[in-house]
Structures are given as structure tokens and as C-alpha cells.
Chains A and B, each alone.
Chain A
Amino acid sequence: QSALTQPPSASGSPGQSVTISCTGASSDVGTYNYVSWYQHHPGNAPKVMIYEVSKRPSGVPDRFSGSKSGNTASLTVSGLQAEDEADYYCSSYAGSNNLVFGGGTKLTVL
């Protein structure tokens, strides 16, 4: 299966909101509500920020939210903070025991 499509970069000033999209197909994002978002500071272990499209694990600030419409999932970061600067990856269950990741988005806090 093909990788999910994310914009390579996104940016915003502190306090602003930014939304990162993740476009898949009817065989993955469009059918399954098993979309997750991961924050990755290079050199560190990735961290899950959103699972099942819009659920936040314990400890993740409510500034992070997720949604889905059709074949596109989105991650919104509100009230941007300097520590939010990182790479963000989406993933989706794609049926038949398969998973697929997006290509990643580098979020810059200006």
C-alpha cells in the first residue's frame, strides 16, 4: 500500500494554531478509525499524541486534537509552544493486518 500523504512542512508562531493533514485512501483512512499521530524529536523515541482519530492519551495536552473527514485525517495543534517543534507522523490501519505511515511533517514554531 502507498504511504499516506502529509505536507513536508508546517509552521506557526507561538500561540497560533496549525493543522497538519494526512491523506490516504478509502482502503485505509477512509474506512478505519484507527488513525494515530506521533510526535518525533529526532534522536528520541516517538510519542503518540492522538489515537483512534481523535483520542488523546493520558498526559498529552488538550492543545492537540485530531479529526477525520473522508480519506483525510488532521492533527491540530492550538496555542503553539516552542516545545511543539518536531516531526509529526500519521499512521492508519489499512486492513488485512497492515499499517501505513505518512511521510512526516516538520512543524516549525517561528
Chain B
Amino acid sequence: QVQLVQSGAEVKKSGASVKVSCKASGYTFNGYYIHWVRQAPGQGFEWMGWINPNSGGTNYAQKFQGWVTMTRDTSIKTAYMDLSRLKSDDTAVYYCARDKYLGLGYFDLWGRGTLVIVSS
């Protein structure tokens, strides 16, 4: 079955880091970029960046440069998003999504999201 399965909800303290995983199945993992998108409570989607699973190359939205790290482990077909120095307004649902157009933004497959709650 073609799917992206994300890790479970996290509760973190301000200043901590969180690492969310996104495991792919049913398709060639290396063939599609993985993007990360977040949605804060009551807000819209916010694009964070992407990773090319084939090369490990990354591209981050300017807002997140310096505090997000996207990695992957091709042996287990899993992408990771690591966000550091968490603040309360990082509380959001974090989604991974497969890009059929290698960075141009055609997300044909999404994970169900991982809720990250940041408490002070």
C-alpha cells in the first residue's frame, strides 16, 4: 500500500528539539522529494522545506533556515524533520508529503500528520 506513516504525537518543553519521522511504503522512496508542511492551531499550511531522498540534498524555507534539519535513512525508507529551539508557537501538526514534481509542489501523497505541542 502506497503510504506515508508518521511518528506519534510529541509534547516538548520550550527550548527543546523534536524529531518527527515519516516512513514511506509501497513506492520507490528515492524517486520523490519529501516536503514538510506544518499547520498551527486555527492557521493555514506553512511550507518548511524538502529533502531529496536520493541525494540527501535539502532546501529550507528562509524562515526555518538554521533551526530545521531534514534527513533521511534510505535503508528504512524514512525521512526525518528535526526542529530545534522550540517555542510555544511551534505547536502545530507537522505533515510530510511526497512531491511528484521534484520540488515544484505537486503533493500527491501526504502523511496523516504529527501533533507537536510545545509547553513552557
Q: A residues touching B (Cβ–Cβ < 8 Å)?
A: 3, 6, 32, 34, 36, 38, 44-48, 51-52, 57, 89, 91-93, 97-104
**A57-B45 contact in complex given A45-B113, A98-B61, C-beta closer than 8 Å:** no
Query: B residues within 8 A CB of A91?
Result: 45, 47, 105, 107
**What count of chain B residues pass the 8 Å CB interface test?**
25
Q: Are A99 and B47 in contact (CB under 8 A)?
A: yes
User: In angstroms, how far is the closest chain A Cβ from the Cβ of B7?
Assistant: 15
User: In angstroms, how far is the closest chain A Cβ from the Cβ of B99?
Assistant: 9
B23 contacts A by Cβ under 8 Å: no
User: In angstroms, how far is the closest chain B Cβ from the Cβ of A25?
Assistant: 16
Give me 21 A-to-B residue pairs in the complex whose CB atoms sit less than 8 angstroms apart, sorted by A's number: A6-B44, A34-B104, A34-B106, A36-B107, A38-B45, A44-B112, A45-B110, A45-B113, A46-B45, A46-B95, A51-B108, A89-B45, A91-B45, A91-B47, A92-B105, A97-B103, A98-B61, A98-B62, A99-B61, A100-B47, A102-B44
- Bound together, the chains give a CA A73 to CA B104 distance in angstroms of 16
Q: Could you list 14 further interchain pairs (A-B, Cβ under 8 angstroms) beyond the known A92-B105, A104-B44?
A: A36-B106, A45-B113, A46-B45, A46-B107, A48-B107, A89-B45, A97-B59, A98-B59, A99-B105, A100-B47, A101-B44, A101-B45, A101-B46, A101-B47
B111 contacts A by Cβ under 8 Å: yes
Q: Are A57 and B108 in contact (CB under 8 A)?
A: yes
| Among all A-B residue pairs, the 5 with the closest Cβ atoms | A103-B44, A104-B44, A45-B110, A101-B45, A97-B59
Name the one of A51, A101, A104 contacting B37, with C-beta atoms under 8 angstroms. A101
Q: B residues touching A (Cβ–Cβ < 8 Å)?
A: 35, 37, 43-47, 50, 59, 61-62, 95, 97, 100-101, 103-108, 110-113
Query: A residues within 8 A CB of B50?
Result: 97
Query: A residues within 8 A CB of B110?
Result: 45-47
Query: B residues within 8 A CB of A103?
Result: 43-44
User: In angstroms, how far is the closest chain A Cβ from the Cβ of B118?
Assistant: 20
